[in-house]
Structure 1
Amino acid sequence: MIAYESFSILLLSFFLIVGLVLLCLGGDWLARGAASLALLLKINPVVVGLTIVSISTSMPEMITAFIAAKGGNSGLAIGNIVGSNLGNAGLILGIAALIYPITIQNRLIKQEVPLLVIVTVMFTLMSMGGFLAAGEIGRLEGLLLLAGTAGYLFFMVFQAKRSGPTENEELTEELKDPITSVAKCLSFVLIGAVFLALGAEFLVGSSVQIATRMGVSQVLIGLTLVALGTSLPELAASVAAALRKQSDIIAGNIVGSNIFNMLLIGGSVSTFYPLQVERRLFVIEFPSMVLLTLLLWFAFYTERKVTRLEGGFLVILYFVIIALSSASQMGKILPGI
C-alpha cells in the first residue's frame, strides 16, 4: 500500500493526474484489445460493439468504484456513479451539441431513453433504502442490478440483429481499425488492465487524502474530480464524433453509458461491497440526476434533436448543479441533515 498521508499536496496532485492519465489510456487500450480479439474470434461485430466495447469503456468508472468501496470509501464510489451520469447528460452532451447539433434516433426515443428513466428512478429508490435495505445499496440490490445488466445486454443485441445495416454500422462505429494479431490484442488487454488498476489506485488514494486535508467530503470529490476524470474518454469520443458531424451516435453512447453506470457498476460493486449512501445526496444530487434524465427524455421526444442553444443550456445547468452540490456537501444547504 502507498502511504499517501506522507505525501505533500503537490505530490498528491501529481499522483492524481498520473492516475487520470493511466485510467484514460488503460480504458482505451483494454476496449480496443478486447474488441479486436473478439472480432478475430469471429464474434458478430454488432455484438462486440454493444457488449464488449460498452463494458470495456466503463472499466475506468468500475475499477475506481471497486477500489474506493473496498477501502471503505463508499461516498467516493457513489459520487463517481452519480457524478458521471450528471457529467454525461449535462456537460458532455451539451459540449457535443455546441459543436454540432445532435440528431436523436427513433430507437433511442422509444426504447433506451425510457429505459434510462426507469433505471434512474429504480437506482435512486434503491439508494434511498426503498423496501430492501436501510441507508445502503446492499448485495440483494446489487444482484438485482446485475440481472438488469444481463437483460439490457440481451435486449440490445436482440434489437441490433433486427435492425437494418445502417443502424448496425452506427452501433459498431468504435470498432474501426481493429488489431489483426492475437498476441497484440492480448498485450493491449493486459497492459490496459494493469494501467486501469494502477490509475484507479493512484486516483482514489490521492483523492481521499486531498479531500481529507481540504476538509471536503469524499462524495464531493467523487462527484466532481473523479467523475470528470473517469468520463474523459467519453468526452473525447463525443467531441471527436461531433467534429466529424457523426452526432447521431453521441446521444446513444451517453444514454448507454449512464445505464451501465447504474446497472453494471452499481450492481457489481454493491454485490461485493455494500455501498453506504449519505442522506445529503438526496438534497441535490439524486434529484438533479432524475430531473436531468426527465429533461433529456422530454427534449428528445418533442424535438428529436439537441440544438446548440439546448447544448449551452445543458452545460450551464450542469455547472449550476455542481455549484449547488458543492454548497450542499459543505453544509450550506439544509445544514441540519
Structure 2
Amino acid sequence: MLENAGLFLGGLLLLIFGADWLVRGASKLAFKLGISPLVVGLTVVAFGTSAPELAINIQSSLGGQPDLALGNVVGSNIFNVLFILGLSALITPLLVDRQLIRLDVPLMLVASLAVYLLALDGNLSTLEGGLLFGSMLFYLIFIIRQSRHENQANDSQESSQSSPIPSKLDLLPFQLLLILAGLAALVLGSGWLVGGAVAFARHFGVSELIIGLTIVAAGTSMPEVATSIMAALKGERDIAVGNVVGSNIFNLLSVLGLTSLLVPGGIPISTAALGFDLPVMVVVAFATLPIFFTGQIIDRWEGGIFLFYYIAYTLYLIMDATSHDLLPLFGTTMLYFIAPLTLITLYLLFYREKRRSKGR
C-alpha cells in the first residue's frame, strides 16, 4: 500500500516538474527559432504530451487489442476538450489566437469528422492510415513555414537594436535539454501515476472495467493536464490552448495514422465505438465552435460547462458499464434537456457576437 502511494505521489511530482520544464523550454524555443509560442504549443508541446497515447496505441494494436487503441485516442480527445480546457479556463480565461480560429480548430473538426467517416466501413486501413499521417506532415510543414514568414518582419526590425548577451540558461542546447527532460518526466510520471491509481482502485475493490473507463483513460492525458494548467498559471495561454488543439490533431492524424500503418490490416472498428464513442468525439469537437469563435476567449463559465459535460459523460460510461437502474432517466435528461439547452445558449451567444462584430 505504501509503495503504491509512493508511486502515485512520485508520478504527480514528475508531472508537475515535467510540465514546468516543458513550458519554460518551449516558450524560450519559440523565440530562438523565430516561431510563435502558439506554434510551439501546437507542435513540440502537443506531440510530446501525446507520447503516452502513441506508445499505448502501438503496443495495444500489436498485442491484439484494437478496441483499446481506438478508445485511447477517442477518450483522450474528449478528455482534452472537456476536462483540460474546462479546468484551464476556470483557472484563468483563455485567449484564443486568430490562427487557431483560421486554421487549427477547423482542422481539428475536419480530422474528427474524417476519422469517423473513414471508420464507417468497420476498419481504418493501412492506406487510410497513410492518408492521415501524410496530412499530419503537411500540416506541420505549413504552420512552421507560415509562422517563420510572419515573424520575419519583426525579426528584421529588432535585429538593428542591440540585444543583451544571453546567459547560459538562454542558449538553445539548454532549452532543448529542458524540453527533453520535461517530456521524459511527463511520460514517466504519467505511467507512475496511472500505475499507482490502478493499484489503489484494485485494493478498494473497484472493477477492472471501471478502472479502464476512468483512471487509465484520464491517465494517458495527464501530461496534457499538467502542461496546460502550468501554462495557464504562467500566463502562457497560447500554449495552454494550442496544446489541447494540437494534441487532438496529433492523436487523430499521427497516432491513429501511424498505428494503422504499423498494424497489418489496419485497425478494426467495433460497432460500439461507431455507435457511441466516435459520434461523441465529433459532437464535442463541433461544440467548441461557438466558444472558440465568440469573443476569441474561453471564459470561466464556458470552462465550467465543459467540465460539467465531462463529469456527465463519465457518469454515463460508469452507469452503462454497471447497468445502473438510473441510466435510462440520466440519458434521457442529458439528451433531451441539458444538451439542447446548452447548445441553444451557446449558439445564441455566437449569433449575438456575430451581429455585434458586424455593427462595429
Q: Secondary structure at the match of 1:302?
A: coil
Amino acid at match of 1:157: I
Check the 8 A contact 1:79/1:221 in 2, yes or no.
no
Alpha carbons of structure 1 residues 68 and 29: separation in structure 2 relative to 1, 3 Å? farther
- Find the counterpart in structure 2 of residue 46 from structure 1: 35
Alpha carbons of structure 1 residues 17 and 277: separation in structure 2 relative to 1, 3 Å? farther
Q: Secondary structure at the match of 2:294?
A: helix
Report the CA distance between 1:161 and its aligned residue. 1.7
2:222 equivalent among 232, 239, 249: 232
* Count of paired positions: 305
Alpha carbons of structure 1 residues 67 and 137: separation in structure 2 relative to 1, 3 Å? same
Alpha carbons of structure 1 residues 141 and 299: separation in structure 2 relative to 1, 3 Å? same
- Find the counterpart in structure 1 of residue 50 from structure 2: 58
- Find the counterpart in structure 1 of residue 335 from structure 2: none
Question: Distance in 2 between the 1:238 and 1:54 partners?
Answer: 10
Report the CA distance between 1:96 and its aligned residue. 0.9
Check the 8 A contact 2:75/2:217 in 1, yes or no.
yes
Report the CA distance between 1:190 and its aligned residue. 9.3
- Find the counterpart in structure 1 of residue 141 from structure 2: 154
Alpha carbons of structure 1 residues 123 and 103: separation in structure 2 relative to 1, 3 Å? same
Given the alignment of the two structures, is residue 142 of structure 1 paired with residue 129 of structure 2, yes or no? yes
Q: Deviations over 1:125-155 (max 9, x none)?
A: 22332xxxx3x22222211111111111012
Q: Secondary structure at the match of 2:64?
A: coil
Percentage of pairs with the same residue = 31
Q: Secondary structure at the match of 1:46?
A: coil
Question: Distance in 2 between the 1:19 and 1:66 partners?
Answer: 26
Check the 8 A contact 1:23/1:60 in 2, yes or no.
no
Check the 8 A contact 1:284/1:325 in 2, yes or no.
no
Amino acid at match of 2:47: I
Question: Distance in 2 between the 1:303 and 1:184 partners?
Answer: 34
Question: Distance in 1 between the 2:154 and 2:214 partners?
Answer: 34
1:275 equivalent among 252, 260, 267: 267
Amino acid at match of 1:155: F
Show the 5 A alignment for 1:253-332: 253-273=243-263, 274-330=266-322
Question: Distance in 2 between the 1:11 and 1:67 partners?
Answer: 29
- Find the counterpart in structure 2 of residue 251 from structure 1: 241
Given the alignment of the two structures, is residue 84 of structure 1 paired with residue 93 of structure 2, yes or no? no
Check the 8 A contact 1:280/1:329 in 2, yes or no.
no
- Find the counterpart in structure 1 of residue 343 from structure 2: none
Alpha carbons of structure 1 residues 222 and 74: separation in structure 2 relative to 1, 3 Å? farther
Q: Secondary structure at the match of 1:72?
A: coil
- Find the counterpart in structure 1 of residue 345 from structure 2: none
Alpha carbons of structure 1 residues 276 and 201: separation in structure 2 relative to 1, 3 Å? farther
Question: Distance in 2 between the 1:291 and 1:243 partners?
Answer: 29
Structure 2 length-normalised TM: 0.67
Q: Secondary structure at the match of 1:303?
A: coil
Show the 5 A alignment for 1:181-260: 196=187, 217=209, 221-260=211-250
Q: Secondary structure at the match of 2:283?
A: helix
Question: Distance in 1 between the 2:309 and 2:151 partners?
Answer: 36
Query: Which segments of 5 or more consecutive residues in structure 1 lack a partner in the other structure?
Result: 1-9, 169-176
Question: Distance in 2 between the 1:151 and 1:70 partners?
Answer: 27
Question: Distance in 1 between the 2:104 and 2:179 partners?
Answer: 31
Alpha carbons of structure 1 residues 24 and 178: separation in structure 2 relative to 1, 3 Å? farther
- Max radius of gyration: which structure? 2
- Find the counterpart in structure 1 of residue 160 from structure 2: none
Report the CA distance between 1:290 and its aligned residue. 1.1
Query: Which segments of 5 or more consecutive residues in structure 2 lack a partner in the other structure?
Result: 156-167, 329-360
Check the 8 A contact 1:116/1:255 in 2, yes or no.
yes
Q: Secondary structure at the match of 2:90?
A: helix
Alpha carbons of structure 1 residues 51 and 312: separation in structure 2 relative to 1, 3 Å? closer
> In terms of mean alpha carbon deviation, does 298-307 or 245-254 score higher?
245-254
Structure 1 length-normalised TM: 0.71
